[in-house]
């Protein structure tokens, strides 16, 4: 008797347990395009990649339950997000993404069609966000819930890596990509498509997708500005990182790594990101929403910023309380910024944002 399980896409059909590993892998690999850097791709013990510079590598794991809900996520969207979240880390180093490896573990009752949709989403994200990048290998296993571990590789192509540790006092703080929309999308899902215990359900989800298309698209399939990582590096970025856990939290991390303080300008943030795709985005959502996967970078003062980057503040010198661009000087007696501290309009700001053990689900103004 054939066992079926309905996925988040509504797929029913042959399951992973029935098709077995070789059959499942054949179906998945058929959805994936090649990686330009691979001289040997999937199917051998290892893939072989060519590189002209240092290789960067990053890994991220997503688990059904704490990281995504199949009641909410279509397989294609989940695959896109798996790729985008790792590609953005590669971009944040100033590298060009070259390849992904993907390890999937799932129950035997998982429809193979769901894994095919995930593969199609991964491939589409690579083609759209990082042309030439592709899946070169991975693993398939069994687990109580759907679990994905993606490793992304990138080529520095002779450039020096742009780390979090290079920001200097007087540098301009800039941001590229959507900001706050993904956090609003998550808050809407918890508000309208989960019960009092936080258990996800799909009731009302089609209508929510229609009414809040921009917010949910940003949450499910982030439009990360991957190509701007190399551009920022070539423009002289002194520090850079992917903003996945919220602008405030990640800005404080960059400041701490660089041994400086950052001051952000709320009026600049509101002017640049307060309305996106027809959606009013509150300041708190910009600062704490997370999962937009934009790029936060610092540039030497006076640098002409690459197209796509917006000035949002300044790097302050320790022992001073220099205001961010477009803000008034702080009041007399304001404490000097501490190493790794964050301020908004010259006032200390306690970073909030995404934490895998304490996720934020409400974002007011």
pLDDT at 254: 96
- Does residue 365 form part of some domain? no
What was the pLDDT predicted at 24?
A: 87
CATH of the domain at 136: 3.30.1330.10
Tokens of 103: 């390890």
The predicted structure's pLDDT at residue 11: 62
DSSP assignment of 332-362, as one string?
Answer: TTPPPPPTT-EEETTEE-------TTS----
- Binding-site residues for ATP sit at 138-139, 164, 244
| 167 within some domain | no
Residue 315 and residue 240 in contact, taking contact as beta carbons nearer than 8 Å: no
End-to-end alpha carbon distance in the chain: 54
108 and 236 in a single domain? The answer is: no
Alpha helices in the chain (DSSP H): 16-29, 75-92, 112-129, 181-192, 205-211, 213-220, 228-234, 247-258, 266-273, 283-288
Tell whether 261 and 338 lie within a shared domain.
yes
Q: Are residues 24 and 77 in the same domain?
A: yes
Q: Which residues are annotated binding-site positions for Mg(2+)?
A: 45, 58-60, 89, 139, 242, 245
Residues in contact with 180: Cβ distance below 8 Å, sequence separation at least 6, in sequence order? 273, 276, 281, 282, 285, 286, 289, 292, 363
For residue 48, which of 35, 31, 32 has the smallest C-alpha distance? 35
Q: Please indicate, yes or no, whether residues 214 and 309 belong to a single structural domain of this protein.
A: yes
pLDDT number for residue 365:
44
Q: Report the 10 Å Cβ neighbour count for 73.
A: 27
**Is residue 2, in this structure, part of any structural domain at all?**
no
Q: Are residues 317 and 208 in the same domain?
A: yes
Annotated binding site for substrate: 67, 291, 354
177 & 151 share domain = no
What is the predicted pLDDT for the residue at 353?
Answer: 63
Annotated binding site: 45, 58-60, 67, 89, 138-139, 164, 242, 244-245, 291, 354
* Same domain as 21, residue 144: yes
**Would you call 203 helix, strand, or coil by DSSP?**
coil
Question: Are residues 185 and 354 in contact, defined by beta-carbon separation less than 8 angstroms?
Answer: no
- Residue 118 CA neighbour count, 13 Å, CB half: 28
**116 in the same domain as 81:** yes
pTM, two decimal places: 0.87
CA proximity to 184, closest of 301, 282, 84: 282
Q: Give the CATH number, domain containing residue 272.
A: 3.90.650.10
Domain boundaries, position 74 = 16-155
Asked if residue 200 and residue 140 are part of one domain, the reply reads: no
Decide if 161 is inside a domain: no
Q: Are residues 106 and 31 in the same domain?
A: yes
Q: Is residue 177 domain-shared with residue 135, that is, in the same domain?
A: no
Is residue 252 domain-resident? yes
Q: Same domain for 221 and 322? A: yes
Q: Is 142 helix (H, G, I), strand (E, B) or coil?
A: strand
Quote the pLDDT of residue 338. 53
Q: Is 8 inside a domain boundary?
A: no
Going residue by residue through the chain, which has 365 residues, state the pLDDT in tens, using 9 for 90 and above: 334 444 556 666 889 988 878 888 889 888 889 999 999 988 888 889 999 999 999 999 999 998 999 999 999 999 999 999 999 999 999 999 999 999 999 999 999 999 999 999 999 999 999 999 999 999 999 999 999 999 999 999 999 999 999 999 999 999 999 999 999 999 999 999 998 888 899 999 999 999 999 999 999 999 999 999 999 999 999 999 999 999 999 999 999 999 999 999 999 999 999 999 999 999 999 999 999 999 999 999 999 999 999 999 999 976 554 444 443 444 444 444 455 689 999 999 987 765 544 554 456 44
Whether 253 is in a domain gets the answer yes
* Residue 67 in domain: yes
Facing residues of 261 across strands?
Answer: 316
Q: How many domains does the chain have?
A: 2
């Amino acid at each position: 008797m054939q066992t079926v399980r309905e996925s988040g896409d509504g797929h029913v059909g042959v399951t992973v347990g029935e098709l077995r590993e070789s059959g499942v892998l054949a179906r998945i690999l058929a959805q994936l395009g090649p990686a330009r850097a691979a001289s040997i791709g999937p199917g051998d013990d290892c893939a072989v990649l060519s590189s002209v510079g240092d290789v960067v590598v990053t890994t991220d794991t997503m688990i059904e339950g704490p990281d995504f809900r199949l009641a909410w996520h279509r397989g294609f969207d989940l695959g896109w997000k798996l790729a985008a979240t790792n590609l953005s880390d590669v971009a944040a180093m100033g590298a060009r993404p070259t390849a992904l490896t993907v390890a999937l573990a799932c129950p035997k009752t998982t429809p193979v069609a769901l894994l095919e949709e995930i593969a199609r989403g991964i491939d589409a994200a690579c083609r759209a966000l990082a042309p030439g990048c592709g899946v070169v290998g991975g693993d398939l296993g069994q687990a109580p819930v759907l679990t994905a571990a993606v490793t992304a590789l990138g080529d520095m192509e002779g450039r020096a890596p742009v780390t979090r540790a290079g920001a200097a006092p007087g540098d301009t703080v800039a941001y590229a990509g959507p900001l706050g929309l993904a956090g609003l999308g998550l808050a809407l899902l918890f508000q309208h498509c989960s019960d009092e215990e936080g258990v996800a359900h799909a009731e009302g989800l089609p209508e929510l997708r229609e009414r809040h298309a921009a917010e949910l698209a940003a949450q499910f399939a982030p439009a990360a500005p991957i190509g701007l990582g190399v551009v920022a590096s070539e423009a002289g970025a002194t520090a850079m990182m992917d903003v996945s856990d919220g602008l405030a939290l990640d800005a404080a991390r960059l400041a701490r790594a660089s041994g400086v303080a950052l001051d952000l300008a709320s009026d600049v943030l509101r002017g640049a990101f307060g309305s996106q795709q027809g959606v009013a985005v509150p300041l708190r959502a910009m600062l704490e929403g997370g999962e937009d996967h934009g790029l936060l970078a610092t540039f030497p003062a006076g640098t002409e910023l690459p197209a796509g980057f917006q000035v949002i503040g300044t790097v302050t010198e320790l022992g001073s309380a220099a205001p961010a661009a477009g803000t008034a000087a702080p009041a007399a007696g304001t404490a000097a910024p501490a190493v790794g501290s964050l301020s908004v309009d010259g006032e200390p700001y306690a970073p909030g944002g995404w934490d895998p053990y304490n996720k934020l689900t409400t974002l007011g103004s």
